[in-house]
Structure 1
Amino acid sequence: MKTIDSRKINTAKIRELRLERGITQAFIARKMGYKYTSSYSNIEKGSVRLSHKNAVILSEVLMCDLKCFYE
């Protein structure tokens, strides 16, 4: 049985990692398959939940472990 991780995603940390690496929101949005940058921007704002699939993509783009996203 799959366990659900109830920890909260640290969106400020995600933004910080992205800016440190010089990666645009538009680039990440395209990697995640979004048509518009705002779809990814809403994840960074915390108004939309980050799915596990997109968390994996984001960890690959930002070159970090999934654990980096949690508070």
Structure 2
Amino acid sequence: MEFAIEVEMLGRVRHKNLLGLRGFYAGEDERLIVYDYMPNHSLLTHLHGKLADDGLLDWQTRINIVIGAAEGIA
């Protein structure tokens, strides 16, 4: 039940900085959520992965991402 509610919420969210929900699967013991492809890696990679060493995201950029994500949720 919680998974269905979460998928419904994700399907409604529209923002330029958030990935679009493509679909989902809810089997007996499996739950999958499918998003659009990200050609520039994930935010996690930019913040903590091998791309973080390149310093691509300064603190102002990180704050702008957070604000944009919050606007998408609101």
TM over 0.5: no
By relative contact order (CA 8 Å, sep 6+), the higher-ranking structure is 1
TM-score (norm. length: structure 1): 0.33
Higher strand share: 2
Higher helix share: 1
Q: Which has the larger radius of gyration?
A: 2
